[in-house]
Structure 1
Amino acid sequence: MAFSKLTDGAANTPAGLIAASIAHAFALFVAVSVGANISGGHVNPAVTFGAFLGGNITLLRGILYWIAQLLGSTVACLLLKFATGGLVSSLSPKPSTLPGVGVWQAVVLEIVMTFGLVYTVYATAVDPKKGSLGTIAPLAIGFIVGANILIGGAFDGASMNPAVSFGPAVVSWSWENHWVYWVGPLIGGGLAGVIYEVIFIGYGTHEQLPTTDY
């Protein structure tokens, strides 16, 4: 689970969920903020994919971002495992074993959560009509991820980010149901990017391209 990476399958307690959601929210807020002027704050392959399908990023740049995101996640997990003396023995999130909750339910949950995330990215950072709303984009993006973890953390780890699952899978060499954390986020992110672009921005109607695309 997202909140038990250092405790190897600790109990899914309300306190653990809250701590994980707050930590993720603020960490993502900082990550997006510090990367905004360099790469547009891209730290999530699903967000990058949604931006590409919406026509707000080129294929080449998207591929380069994906490579950087996956390498960054892998290196971070290697450093985490080293810093804890090998304490981290089960990094990869796995769909819940709760009764009635299986991998396909996890896929749907990932689609819904990532749709909300990428929709928020478009509304606050990509939309050329965003105006001063763009100043709170990193905070809004962090908060939606934190809120989603409160909902999905106890069920499937609430990834919403293939890179978050890829690095741990490589380091721990645990690939069980790993496809869930690619299929769900990419579908959700892609749908959000296309829907927002078509309905609220409109292809070919950009008056001013955004300077950053989180």
Structure 2
Amino acid sequence: MNKVLIIEDEESIRKFVKLVLSKQGFTVIQAGTGEDGLEKVNIENPNIILLDIMLPGIDGFKVCEIVRKDYPDIGIIMLTARGQDIDKIKGLEYGADDYMVKPFNPLELSARINSLLRRINSHDNNASDILESGPFKIDMNCKIAFKNTITVNLTPKEFLLMKIFMQNPNKALSRNKLLDLVWGYNFVGDPKIVDVNVRRLRNKLEETPSSPNYIETVWGMGYRWKEI
């Protein structure tokens, strides 16, 4: 079932969109701020994002920029105010696939989403929700990780951390980047939580955690998933 994430600070609009799209068979996820929206993207892995521009905290343009960089396959439809042509242009420049002017017709909204889904699917008809790297495989729908076909018991944060590593093979990821992607942009705790969870993940994935083959330390920066 296709997932649609609506990032919109007006609750009435979110409820309206959820009602319309749920009747069309979509799973609808809601977020009221840019920060919450980015966290939901990481956790829920939506197919389509309906993204308002004027958001408290991180605005829609910044959210669009971050999503497009980290999740290039997610479709993004910007929601703009009537007559704000500059917002439409700017949104497309930041990587949005389409835009809709509020207030919008619910039938047109459904049509735009379905059109974008067809376009995305036509790019890669073999797209899979399974990620594989060396002896590891994760099922993003079932949220299950395997090593050599044996299930690895991971916490939700460990699973998300592993998913991000496998989606970015051989790429150095800073601690701050991992903190933002896994714990959210509004996380206010101790950033050392990244190192703690990496250590736990190594204990579950590596043959010799003290001398890891897969999750390498990039000294002074963060970590890198070494694809073998």
Q: TM-score, normalised by structure 2?
A: 0.25
Instruction: Tell me which protein shows more helix as a share of its residues.
Output: 1
TM-score using structure 1 length: 0.27
Higher relative contact order (Cα pairs below 8 Å, separated by 6+ residues): 1
Which one has a larger percent strand, Structure 1 or Structure 2? 2
